[in-house]
Amino acid sequence: MNIHTYEKVWIVASMVLIVGFIATITYGAVGPGIAMIDDDGGDINPDKINDDERFAEPGVEHVGGNEYEVTVVAQAWSYTPSEIEIPANSEVTFYVTSRDVTHSFSVVGTNVNTMVVPGQVSEMTAKFDEPDEYGILCNEYCGEFHHTMEGKLNVVP
């Protein structure tokens, strides 16, 4: 191989990478487990969240067996509750809504990643097998302190 052949190989390789990235972004949103289209948990009046059965006291509820429901209210610039604790080997359904503007609820390192729109409830289910600690981040720009909006998910033994 001479130098030109190497160059060609690298050009092709980088083009494959670029196409790969675009494909990931385009098709990632409809891939398995990523809840962008199938996360409709119904409507809610954002002014009456405190009167809503599910969201008046957001948090973790054991619904039987290894199943848990977690309700979360997003608002600028925090989540309520800010820290979630669930046991390992559990199946968790998250219900998340917003009190004000559009946020996201993204559990870093998992497929739980959804927009949180005022007036709507985002719903998604995920399994947590091993004890671990996950950060929760807001991926939608929501104002001055967007970058400080975070939470924690602890999967405990």
Q: Where are the beta strands (DSSP E) in the chain?
A: 40-43, 60-64, 67-75, 78-80, 83-87, 90-98, 103-107, 113-116, 120-128, 132-137, 150-156
Nearer to ligand CUA by Cβ, of 22 and 108: the residue is 108
Q: Is 103 in the site for ligand CUA (CB under 6 A)?
A: yes
Nearer to ligand CUA by Cβ, of 70 and 115: the residue is 115
Using alpha carbons, select from 83, 62, 81 the residue that is nearest to residue 71.
81
Q: Is 72 in the site for ligand CUA (CB under 6 A)?
A: no
CA-based torsion, 117, 121, 52, 63: positive or negative:
negative
Q: Is 140 in the site for ligand CUA (CB under 6 A)?
A: yes
Q: Is 10 in the site for ligand CUA (CB under 6 A)?
A: no
Q: Is 153 in the site for ligand CUA (CB under 6 A)?
A: no
Binding site for ligand CUA (CB under 6 A): 77, 103, 138, 140-142, 146, 149
